[in-house]
Structures are given as C-alpha cells and as structure tokens.
Amino acid sequence: MTTTPPTSGTTRSTASERRTHVLEVATREFATRGYEGGSTERIAAAAGISQPYVFRLFGSKHKLFLAVIEQCLDDTLAMFATAAADLQGEAALQAIGEAYGERILANPMMLQLQLVGYASCDDELVRASMRAGYRRLVEYVERVSGADEETISLFFARGMLLNVATSMRLDRDPVDWGTRLMEGCRPERYSP
Amino acid sequence: MTTTPPTSGTTRSTASERRTHVLEVATREFATRGYEGGSTERIAAAAGISQPYVFRLFGSKHKLFLAVIEQCLDDTLAMFATAAADLQGEAALQAIGEAYGERILANPMMLQLQLVGYASCDDELVRASMRAGYRRLVEYVERVSGADEETISLFFARGMLLNVATSMRLDRDPVDWGTRLMEGCRPERYSP
DNA sequence: CACGCTTGTGATTGACCACTCACAAATATA
DNA sequence: TATATTTGTGAGTGGTCAATCACAAGCGTG
C-alpha cells in the first residue's frame, strides 16, 4: 500500500501536495484519537513520509492540528454554499439542513473532528479558530436564509443535537429513546 | 497545600473517601486535558496521594475515566431531579432548562467533561456509558414533562447548542453573532 | 502484644512521544 | 556540467506516561 517504489530513485511531490495529503491523514488521526492522543509518528506513517518531514511541513503538532481544524470548518462552509446553491429563504435553510445530515452520515470523520475541536477549546488558538469558523457559518446561514434569530438558533441547535446523537451512534445502532429524540430534528420541519 | 502532616505518623482515609476525592480531581484533569491528555501522575499529585495508589483504587486509567463520565451523568440527572422538584409539565421543563443553564455557567467543568465524553465515543465502553446516561436523562425529562416528541427534541437540541456555545466561551467573551445565536435559546421560550 | 487487613509508597520498566540536527537525494537553473 | 534549491530521511534526545511489584505503615481484634 506504500507508494514508495522499491529500490530507490523516488519521484518527488511538491511540498504543497504533501501538505494536502498530510492534512487529510491527520484529520483521520485527530478525529479518532483527539489532539493529545494523535501521534505525529502515525500520521507520518499513514502519509508515507518520515516523521521529521511532518514537522518540516507544519512546524509543530499544534500547528498541524490548527490547520486540520481550520480546513474542517472551511469544508463545512463550502458544503453549506454548495447545498444552498442559488436557493434562498426557507428553501435554502432546508437544503443546508438536509446536506448537513447526509454529510454527517456519509463522513463521520468531520463530525468527530468537530467534537474534538469543541473539547479542545480550552486552548486559546483552537478556540479562536473554532469561533472564527463558526462565525462564518452563522453569518452565511443568516445571510442566505434571511430567517429570524429564533429560526437560525433552532437550526444550529438541531445540528448540534444531530452531532452528539451521531457520535453516540444513535443512527447506526438505534434505540427507541434515541429515535424519539431524533424525530423532532428533521430538516423538513424548519418552517414555523 | 498538601494535606500530609510534616514528619510522619499520617492519619488515613478510607478507600471510599479517597475514591470520591480522586474522582473529583480526575474530573478536572480529564475535562481540561481530555482522556489521552489526562495524566494519572497529575491526578495523583492533585489528590495528594502516590500515583500507584490511583491504580489500586481504580484499576486503570480507562476505568477511572469511565467512573468520571458515569458520575458526571449521574450528577446531571440528580440536578434535573432537584430542579424539577415537584413540578410537572411545561413548568418542570422550564425549571430544568434554567437550572441547566445556570449550572453550566457556574461549573464549566461538567460541560467540558461532557464534550470530552462525546469526543471519546469511539471507545465502545465510553459510548455505552454515555448512551446509558443520556437515556436516563431523556426518559426522565419525558416522564416529568409529559411533553411531546418535538418539544423534548427541541429541549435537548437547545441544551447541546448551549454546550458548544459555552465551550467556545460565547458567554464570557461575547460577540454579536454569538449573542444573536443564543437569543433564541432561552429557557423561557419552551412553550409552542 | 501479635496477627491480619486495609491503606499507602518508592523504585522501576518498557513504550511512546514531540521535536532536532546533520546529512542525502532529487530537481531546477545557469 | 556545476551550482543552488527544494524535498526528504536516519539517528537520536530528553521527557512523560501507564502500569507493576515488593514492601512499609497504620488500624482493629484476639
């Protein structure tokens, strides 16, 4: 599975390509193990490079983590934008809600990383990054939906409940109380 | 600050007293550092005992973590019960909501630990513990409030939003978008 | 006092970790 | 081809960590 050709005479990637790949791999690592639990050695191994090179590319474990967090939030915003496309008002809100739900089910890594991000908010830089990303999400949804304060709040509240429910795997491993809890949380119920 | 008398001839505690104290200290440690980041050495030092004794009392770091999680959920349920007292219906729901908000502001440790718990749900035993605790919360609120599915769902969704908002310190360090987001999340708005 | 039970520790171990540095190999450029 | 730049690594450093074990010290009971 290693991409390294056998003997020697390896062809090289640009630093930027490597960074992209390492970010991808690091997302998985931090999402499943948390910040402290994540290992630069494992990240390097999974990315097919040496561990010192991870430090060359990102400076420190902490900076790598910040980059991962930031990218996760950027991706989420991009997903919102794609889902809302040229819609507006309630329709946009509903489209975003549906897309978010699907994404979470399809790619639990992003969700898990988000939770790790909240849990790591004791760190000032992590907190700043999370706040900045969240701000962009809120302002985007406000702008595209034009909905009132309460509807926006409700929208995000439901998203957060969806997050924790998925982290506890209430979807993959359903129980009656969980199903009941998630029933009132469907995107087709955003209108007042 | 150490409780140990200077020379020798120390008076002893019962194992149960120790366990209680260690649980308290470990809650702080895991809440601020996460599971992997939490250190049994620091917990022992903060509790004023030797590190090996932590293992004597709890068997392993993992078991200690589970005990901490479990106690946190138990405390939350107890808090719900106290708040609801002899109330029922909407009144009970509102009382619980208010108490939860106040508790989170007053004691951020519980909140932080909850987030760490969600983030650690990849671990099967942690997940089982979280699910069991959450189930008790949901069923209690359902029983005491008698409210319909959607109201209950909304109640917990708002709680989750309150959680992440507090983790990002939107309360202590307010910004306009955050304030807007939290406005629709007040306990006095639970009725339809 | 002697005996057993509970409470408690010092010393250590092997594994892992983030991070550094000197150096090598590929590639671009002249 | 010679030189400079970028990409990349092997070998190590000091530190921390969870967990173990043999052993000590207080305490209740005969």
Is residue A78 within 8 Å of residue B81, measured between CB atoms? no
- Looking at residue B184, what is its pLDDT? 78
State how far residue B31 is from chain A, nearest Cα, in angstroms: 8
- Looking at residue A7, what is its pLDDT? 40
Backbone angles phi, psi at B69, to 5 degrees: -55, -50
Output the CA torsion A142→A130→B61→B18 (10° steps): -80
Is residue A152 within 8 Å of residue B180, measured between CB atoms? yes
User: How far is Cα A102 from Cα A153, in angstroms, rounded to an integer?
Assistant: 20
Under the banding of pLDDT at 50, 70 and 90, the label for residue B7 is very low
A4 touches strand C (CB under 7 A): no
- Enumerate the nucleotides of strand C whose atoms come under 7 Å of any protein CB: 6-11, 16-22, 25-27
- Looking at residue A2, what is its pLDDT? 32
Closest-CA residue of A relative to B115 is A119
Q: Length of chain B, please?
A: 192
Which of chain A's residues have a Cβ under 8 Å away from the Cβ of B168? 118, 121, 127, 130-131, 134
The model's pLDDT over B129-187, given as tens digits with 9 standing for 90+, comes to 999 999 999 999 999 999 999 999 999 999 999 999 999 999 999 999 999 999 877 76
- Looking at residue B9, what is its pLDDT? 60
Is residue B81 within 8 Å of residue B145, measured between CB atoms? no
- Looking at residue A187, what is its pLDDT? 66
In 3D space, the residue among A116, A71, A77 whose CA is nearest the CA of residue A96 turns out to be A77
Is residue B114 within 8 Å of residue B163, measured between CB atoms? yes
- Looking at residue A190, what is its pLDDT? 56
Residue B83 pLDDT > 80, yes or no?
yes
Instruction: Name the residue among B153, B182, B189 with its Cβ closest to that of A185.
Output: B153
Query: Look-up: residue for tokens 């924790």?
Result: A164
At A160, the amino acid letter reads M
**Helix/strand/coil (H, E, C) string of chain A?**
CCCCCCCCCCCCCCHHHHHHHHHHHHHHHHHHHHHHHCCHHHHHHHHCCCHHHHHHHHCCHHHHHHHHHHHHHHHHHHHHHHHHCCCCHHHHHHHHHHHHHHHHHHCHHHHHHHHHHHHCCCCHHHHHHHHHHHHHHHHHHHHHHCCCHHHHHHHHHHHHHHHHHHHCCCCCCCCHHHHHHHHCCCHHHCCC
Share of chain B above pLDDT 90, in %: 85
In DSSP notation, chain B reads: ---S-SSS------HHHHHHHHHHHHHHHHHHHHHHH--HHHHHHHHTS-HHHHHHHHSSHHHHHHHHHHHHHHHHHHHHHHHHTT--HHHHHHHHHHHHHHHHHH-HHHHHHHHHHHHTTTSHHHHHHHHHHHHHHHHHHHHHH---HHHHHHHHHHHHHHHHHHHTTTTTS--HHHHHHHHTT-GGG---
Under the banding of pLDDT at 50, 70 and 90, the label for residue B5 is very low
Q: Length of chain A, please?
A: 192
Query: What residue has its CA nearest to the C1' of D8?
Result: A53
User: How far is Cα A171 from Cα B155, in angstroms, rounded to an integer?
Assistant: 19
- Looking at residue B10, what is its pLDDT? 74
First-residue to last-residue Cα distance in chain B: 52
Is residue B2 within 8 Å of residue B48, measured between CB atoms? yes
Mean pLDDT score across all residues of chain B: 92
User: How far is Cα B83 from Cα B154, in angstroms, rounded to an integer?
Assistant: 19
- Looking at residue B15, what is its pLDDT? 86
pLDDT < 50 stretches in chain A? 1-7, 192
Structure tokens at B21: 């104290």
**pTM for the whole thing?**
0.93
- State the best of A40, A138, A164 to mutate against chain B, taking most chain B CBs within 10 Å: A164
Is residue B90 within 8 Å of residue B191, measured between CB atoms? yes
User: How far is Cα B82 from Cα A7, in angstroms, rounded to an integer?
Assistant: 70
